[in-house]
Amino acid sequence: MEKNTNELPPWAEEMSPDDFISHSPTYESGKYFHLFEKSTYRDGSGTELKYYTFDPDRDAKVKRKLPLLVFLHGTGNSLVGDLCINYTGAEFYATDDYQKSMGGARILIPVANEYRDEDGRTRGQWNPDYLEPVHNLIMSFKKERSEIIGPVILLGNSSGATFVMRLMDNYMDDFDVVIPVGSGDLPGDSTLDEYDRKGKTLFFAFGRRDEFNDYCKYVEPRLPRLEKMKHCFIFIPEWVRNGDKGVASINFGFEMGQHCLINSVHANLMFDDGTPMDDRLPNGMTGWISQVVRDRMDR
């Protein structure tokens, strides 16, 4: 499907006169796919999952204890082959700069068994049937490296964001941090209470003009509760932007630029000129991850 850059987004009239539309992320996709290894996991139930991994200590004689970043893709993203690595937001988190900023991290990318039906619709996307197999994959990966895996951080994009929240809901004792990007399907108040009781951390990222999820309906009413949490960072930009500071527009027959906040997260929540997309994050997402990991390891 060819990207359409001619049609104005539905929110274009809300932009400031001095703003401009940016049609693509400024980073290049595919440069670092060679850093990832591809494997297959078969769950006890018989479910087979492809997954990608990255280990910054792969060739080191001594391996460090590092956090594990688990990235979950959005609907349809598994259908693009290795490009799925990029679409999860994970690719650049394997680069030297991002790794140095985080203090190092291992990466795991489970991949859903998606396919197109005869009408061209995506089937087999993340749903509750995947909860146990994906949890088992993560736990198996961690068990094999028990001495060198620190806090486990879940990061999901779009439907993957909803899925990582459900993973945290169901297996909270096994995970430490959850970063949902682009989903308004928040846990209930009682589950958020459990986050606080168990010391879990939530980074909630959502575009105010998300084209798929109604901010006023799903997110705004929950903000007072999120703001009361012990360990919660709320990132709701007025505009989702690319590295060139332009307002993000992606049109593949429907507009989704403001939904694809994962592109900003992939850019480390930093603009190309080195300024942060949020002044509270002077070192971007990687800096936030580094601080959270240090705090958790000091507890």
List pLDDT tens digits, range 236-245. Answer: 999 999 999 9
Tell me: pLDDT of 101 over 90: yes
* 5 belongs to a structural domain: no
Q: What is the mean pLDDT of residues 190-201?
A: 98
Query: Taking Cα atoms as reference points, which of 237, 184, 239, 241 lies closest to residue 215?
Result: 184
Q: What is the mean pLDDT of residues 173-202?
A: 98
* 74 belongs to a structural domain: yes
* 257 belongs to a structural domain: yes
The alpha carbon of 241 is separated from its chain's Cα centroid by a whole number of angstroms, namely 16
* 93 belongs to a structural domain: yes
pLDDT > 90: what percent of the chain?
93
Strand order in the sheet with 149-157: 37-42, 48-54, 106-111, 66-72, 149-157, 177-181, 201-205, 232-235
Tell me: pLDDT of 206 over 60: yes
Query: Taking Cα atoms as reference points, which of 188, 206, 271, 293 lies closest to residue 22?
Result: 271
| Confidence band, pLDDT 50/70/90 cuts, at residue 270 | very high
Q: What is the mean pLDDT of residues 201-211?
A: 97
* 249 belongs to a structural domain: yes
Q: What is the pTM of this model?
A: 0.96
Quickly count: other Cβ atoms within 10 Å of residue 31's Cβ: 12
pLDDT value of residue 2: 47
Domain coverage including residue 150:
12-298
* 4 belongs to a structural domain: no
What would the pLDDT profile of 126-183 be if each residue is shown by its tens digit? 999 999 999 999 999 999 999 999 999 999 999 999 999 999 999 999 999 999 999 9
| Confidence band, pLDDT 50/70/90 cuts, at residue 297 | confident
Quickly count: other Cβ atoms within 10 Å of residue 53's Cβ: 17
Tell me: pLDDT of 278 over 80: yes
Q: Which residues pair with 49 in a beta bridge?
A: 41
pLDDT value of residue 45: 85
| Confidence band, pLDDT 50/70/90 cuts, at residue 1 | very low
Q: What is the mean pLDDT of residues 190-200?
A: 98
Tell me: pLDDT of 227 over 50: yes
Query: What total number of domains does the chain contain?
Result: 1
* 3 belongs to a structural domain: no
CATH code of the domain covering residue 114: 3.40.50.1820
Residues 160, 223, 90, CA angle at the centre, nearest 5°?
25
